[in-house]
Structure 1
């Protein structure tokens, strides 16, 4: 015999066609036994033909196994239906096997960690390190398709925004629950989650106490003879725990020398001061909270590693009070230094926490300074008649004396 045996799927397709024709014939016979209204034969033919066609491809006839007509023409379309989660197309799974796949690959006790985008192989860093020490290779993390990740990201954003818009005016910036005492997070769990995103930003809801505090400071400290622009967004800066620890250690050292808390001031005589700088990217626009990678975007560099005295003078070329980091209590003064490289309807300005300590008051320029005078921690440049300043400035001379706290986005 020279005839070639047809592939299985072809044979099944032929059987399906025959079955479909048989069903159609049976339907026509049954219809012939009853009175047939006008156009009924055409309608019946169309319906019967439609029922005999595969539910997925809509081209090939449904597969008939001799006893039952299935919903699809073959395995390919059945698999497609399964992937699309069409009802009754998904085979039953072993629940025990499914549950076990969700457990940590090392301890097999706790669920695998999911960061919102990726399901990792282990439940925690501890198990991941133990598995690495034992020489166990991690399975490839389960990552949903890009479109699915995008969808869940949008859903998460909506839910997070909704929770942050809670009537609670001092709600946690992550979950919206009420915060006891000072701070922006309701628990250590939320604090840890935020720290994992460092360096980064968290938007502060407009009804939040923090938004009002920052926006009010911006408005009341606008002293130029121009209308104060409206504040549109406030973002909390999330710095790494290591960076915050260095700042707090410096503040504690200054406090131990000056005993400011005993005099009714904040520890280290800490104050909030403005700083304007260059923004090359569109950070803060239209919900964009991703820091850019440019080494010349001053805003993102400050957010990533805080202030760096090694970069002094690269933008302005000089400083009235020498080699230091300059801030001001006047928002409109710092606005003069806030510039956009890309077109934007908004401008960005930083509100920082600064350890002022014991400030040395100056009214005239001294460009040779590289540190505060002996016995002092900073320089307070004040406005007086006959002085060189129109607006105040605060200058510190060590990187750890300052950390960015908020980004304020306002009308350009």
Structure 2
């Protein structure tokens, strides 16, 4: 199947599947000429580009369908995807991720088991945010140090920020890690602190959610809560919270989740 550059009105074939860009836009990615919908620059002067995906494109419909299919918890009605952005992180962050993925693969040989390199999976992460990026015509990001969404866009997922959130929730079932889930409905809950009213439609609110690659490697599967855990046991790369396990009080996990610590 031919894949075309994600930049609107560019009909060239993709040369770099890591970014889904043609050769021309790969070169422009490192310049101020790159046609991103939004740019956000971190404190150390690295730029993340957000490219809005057209609602008429197959990319939008495929991602939207995955999001709706992965909504398995009956905790919202009348779901609608308002906008989707392709996030193009700085080379230093991407290369660091790829190096870690290669390291995990070298230890576990997951490709020989017909898995993705490093046992990489596509998972969801819900979080708070202060921005009105989805429903503001100006498409601004607040870039505030208090905005978890902007922090992820500028720096990717930062283990130093674990435990710092607006919900003031200290309980972490799988320990002090960064959490992901295969279910959009579960990730949705963790963005409720950033829910904003949709100005164009009374009674509706909007949240943000990340769909991201995660290197899971060899997963540790605990039977009980490991709240103080800061890494999985030796020989493991991540923690898998399985449905029906890790009880806390009278409650066990109803929907699976993963935690990584690097």
Q: TM-score, structure 2 length as denominator?
A: 0.80
Q: 1:207 aligns with which of 52, 56, 73?
A: 56
| Greater mean alpha carbon deviation, residues 267-276 or residues 285-294 | 285-294
Provide the rounded CA distance (Å) in 1 between the counterparts of 2:109 and 2:137.
Answer: 42
Provide the rounded CA distance (Å) in 1 between the counterparts of 2:30 and 2:139.
Answer: 15
Greater share of helix: 1
Match of 2:186 in 1: 333
Provide the rounded CA distance (Å) in 1 between the counterparts of 2:190 and 2:208.
Answer: 10
Deviation per residue, 1:249-291 (Å, 9 max, x gap): 0000001111111221111111111111111121222455443
Match of 1:346 in 2: 206
Q: 1:358 aligns with which of 195, 207, 218?
A: 218
Give the secondary-structure state (helix, strand or coil) at the position aligned to 2:207.
strand
- The answer on whether the counterparts of 2:195 and 2:206 sit within 8 Å (CA) in structure 1 is no
Provide the rounded CA distance (Å) in 2 between the counterparts of 1:300 and 1:284.
Answer: 13
Match of 1:84 in 2: none
**Larger of the two Rg values belongs to structure:** 1
Task: Give me the CA root mean square deviation.
Answer: 2.3
Is 1:190 the counterpart of 2:40 in the alignment?
A: no
Is 1:382 the counterpart of 2:231 in the alignment?
A: no
Is 1:179 the counterpart of 2:13 in the alignment?
A: yes
Structure 2, unpaired ranges of 5+: 32-38, 40-46, 199-204
C-alpha spacing 1:258/1:386, structure 2 compared with 1 (3 Å): closer
Runs of 4+ in 1 over 6 A off after TM superposition: none
The number of residue pairs the alignment matches comes to 231
Give the secondary-structure state (helix, strand or coil) at the position aligned to 2:174.
coil
Q: TM-score, structure 1 length as denominator?
A: 0.52
Structure 1, unpaired ranges of 5+: 1-167, 399-412
Deviation per residue, 1:154-198 (Å, 9 max, x gap): xxxxxxxxxxxxxx9943122421424745544232023234453
- The answer on whether the counterparts of 2:179 and 2:257 sit within 8 Å (CA) in structure 1 is yes
Deviation per residue, 1:297-319 (Å, 9 max, x gap): 11011111111111111113231
Give the secondary-structure state (helix, strand or coil) at the position aligned to 2:171.
coil
C-alpha spacing 1:341/1:335, structure 2 compared with 1 (3 Å): closer
